[in-house]
Structure 1
């Protein structure tokens, strides 16, 4: 990443010729001061900053709110019934050790009539010492007795072409994609756990093979998403270690599918590559302009992003009319969420829910129009932008299945963000393909409650053995 250069200022202060110019200059400097003070007070509550970047004070406030019994407070809630671990079914290879009483603690006699079944079962889980199974193909040569021609044996068709077999390929893929390990950490783990050493190049080549084997699944998921009635879309930055410019990971998710692809830009053309222009369903997204080509009546804006932006307006350090309107808009936004939650918890019937939402919609539009006249330019523009896309704020009123937020996409893309922080960027197109395709598989498996390791192993085994490609997700 390149450091941002500090802004250049003139050596001498600006000069003015009359009071009008002085007033304009004071207003500009005052607004710039407010802007810098607002940036100092930004947090995950009123901006797109992550919670990990909050100051100690903001973290303390957040923890205090959680401990006061909020929605996200930790620990069991009042009235929560306890859970105990269930006994696991035993396999043929499991060991059973029967423990019988030695003597009676009362009379110390050993003549005890033992009951048929145990009164208590205690299970201890352990793993065998990990080992690597090596399959060695010994190819012999010979000479034909008739024509004296040299003859060489060939490897079986189902043999792996490289030195890493299907199960180990799956293991390496899941270690990188699901557990966010870098190539060197995978190399260290394999050496320590399995006692075998692979070069960094061999592990990178293994990931490239996995990406190639996931190509049919990756394309099938993209085609299947075109038929989904509702999708969530999001994007996040992606770094190439050998380049200055950013790339972007785009994500599209439905109820049971997730698709990720790394593209060169965050532009409208990139959005149209991951979301087909002919898509007729509902798209839920943030306020990124790349999605503005979607028809307003099919484009639901995320209210969580709207709330954060309005909260920044309410926290304006200059106070006055700007902060006053921002606070009203925040109160109305909180009321919209509260009404939706009450409906989802069956505390409101649909008719009452819709009537209250229409009333909140009218009030929100009223205060939003007031916000277009505030003195601060950036908040005035923010209110004008929301009014311009007003229809996209209320698409959720058409169907209760349309969510208020884009949290589903935020959750799905989190794995990619964590890997970016831990393993940094990639160095090639092959690395980009591996990350996007392995995360597509892993996040889809999460949605369907499947084991990513088992699914990946089944795909790789079928490809290596040259069997038909498995249709695991029934696409």
Structure 2
């Protein structure tokens, strides 16, 4: 071990030469391993989610904390719920003062502009139960018994479309377990429900929504640009992957047992010609037209800055400066301050600087820089696709956001237990996110889809023109 010993002198004096040599060899090995691993990974310099870091371990803020108190500031714009028209109120109560509050003189008449005070309340929740009496009559001619059929659209089970839609909404959108869903229906709605019944509701919803899901899957390869991402999950204790593809008017989720490029070929086809916004995972490379996520690159550059190697740290700082300028210019383009053509002109020097810096890292002779810089420089056209393609963002944030709900659900449920459960997850997540994009009422859509399923009618389509 070279250099000054890291063993405190008071401890070194108590060690035999053999023990001291052994401890120093262990310290050297620890230093080598720390150098190999690099700086500790955190959400700022890697793809780790923010929730994995303890709140007390977060990096302290550089900017000084504001001296303003929490909450609304003096003079801020007031936000309040506006009154609904009187005609929409279920009940109007007129209140007239009887006597003067000062001298008790009796008062008469009415105020032409009374103060309006509205109180919102939930109605008494009581389930609607419809009984169908199916008579069986014997034929006077042949004696055969004939039972009256149920009307069209009436389910053979005991749950109607709205009840099934609400049950599915609680499980899929509000991430409630089957047991808590049954508890909600029974406690608040007075609807007898068991865990087994919620499983039946889950199966009905999957079957009702599947035609709309398949239609979106058919439309996916025709999209001019897509955001793509994936996250690990489990099915019956085995590894699985939840993929998401975000188009301009819909989002498609799919559960697969693999993260391989074959999944992309299966879903997008071998002739897909659109642009895919993604991270630098190699299974996307076969698609040809990519936009690598600059948010991921920013975290990678931060990892360089956090390195103990001064050469690596210097290149990280040099790459971070033009990257921050890129995000500032993109924010102006996104809010309409500048056009994409102006953005391209303003980012021309940024592009030159970054590519020169990548070359510097490529020929630095430092093994910590050569691999990453070579990959970025050899595929540098995938860094700038957003400059020439309308509708393409420099980040993959849309896909990351679409996965957020699914990731929280996975942490609560620990994945799925069967193939049927996986189909429910991918189908309902697709409908939830697509309805949000299209500003559709999710509960209304689920109710209409289940009702159409009971009536043997086509499922309402989710395919719209952008």
**TM exceeding 0.5:** yes
Q: Which residue of 2 aligns with 1:265?
A: 258
Contact 1:187 1:199 (8 Å CA) reproduced: yes
Residue aligning to 1:341 = 331
- Give the aligned partner of residue 33 of structure 2: 32
Look up the SS of the partner of 1:259 in the other structure: strand
- Asked if 1:179 is matched to 2:174, the reply is yes
- Correspondent of 2:158 among 153, 156, 163: 163
Listed one character per residue, the Cα deviations across residues 106-149 of structure 1 (whole Å, up to 9, x for unaligned) are: 4432234322332x222111112322222233333232222222
Is 1:196 aligned to 2:191, yes or no? yes
For structure 1, the 5+ residue unaligned runs are: 1-24
SS for the counterpart of 1:300 is strand
Helix, strand or coil at the partner of 2:175: coil
Structure 2 counterpart of 1:251, from 236, 241, 244: 244
- CA shift in 2, pair 1:37/1:290, >3 Å: closer
Of 436, 439, 445, 1:449 maps to 439
Report if the CA contact (8 A) 1:325-1:367 is conserved: yes
Equivalent position of 1:14 in the other structure:
none
CA distance in 2, matches of 1:68, 1:273: 52
Corresponding residue for residue 7 of structure 1: none
Verify: 1:309 aligned to 2:304, yes or no. no
Say yes or no: does 1:380 pair with 2:380: no
Number of equivalent positions: 438
Alignment partner, residue 356 of structure 1: 346
Give the 3 Å change call, closer, same or farther, for CA 349–204 of structure 1 in structure 2.
closer
Correspondent of 1:229 among 224, 232, 245: 224
The Cα of 1:66 is off from its aligned counterpart by 9.8
What is the SS of the residue equivalent to 1:246?
A: strand
Question: TM-score of the superposition, structure 2-length normalised?
Answer: 0.86
Gaps of 5+ in 2: 1-25
Change (3 A) 1:285 1:322: same
Aligned-residue offset at 1:231:
1.6
Shift of residue 225, structure 1, vs aligned partner? 3.3
Find the residue that maps to 1:214 and give its secondary structure: helix
**Cα distance, 1:78–1:221 mapped onto 2, change above 3 Å:** farther
**In the alignment, structure 1 residue 281 sits paired with structure 2 residue 271:** no
Select between 423-432 and 184-193 the one with higher mean Cα deviation: 184-193
Pair 337,235 (structure 1): closer, same or farther in 2 beyond 3 Å: same
8 Å Cα contact 2:340/2:387 also seen in 1: no
Mapped partners of 1:256, 1:79: distance in 2: 40
For residues 67 and 233 of structure 1, the distance between their equivalents in structure 2, rounded to whole angstroms, comes to 37
C-alpha distance after superposition, 1:153-173 (max 9, x if no partner): 333332202222111110011
User: Structure 1 254/331 Cα, relative in aligned 2: closer, same or farther at 3 Å?
Assistant: same
Alignment of 1:61-460 (within 5 A): 61=60, 81-89=77-85, 94-118=90-114, 120-240=115-235, 242-243=236-237, 245-295=238-288, 298-316=289-307, 318-345=308-335, 353-374=343-364, 377-399=367-389, 401-460=391-450
State the 1:47 CA deviation: 0.8
Distance 1:308 1:394 in 2: 18
Question: What's the offset of the Cα at 1:184?
Answer: 1.5
Distance 2:64 2:252 in 1: 33
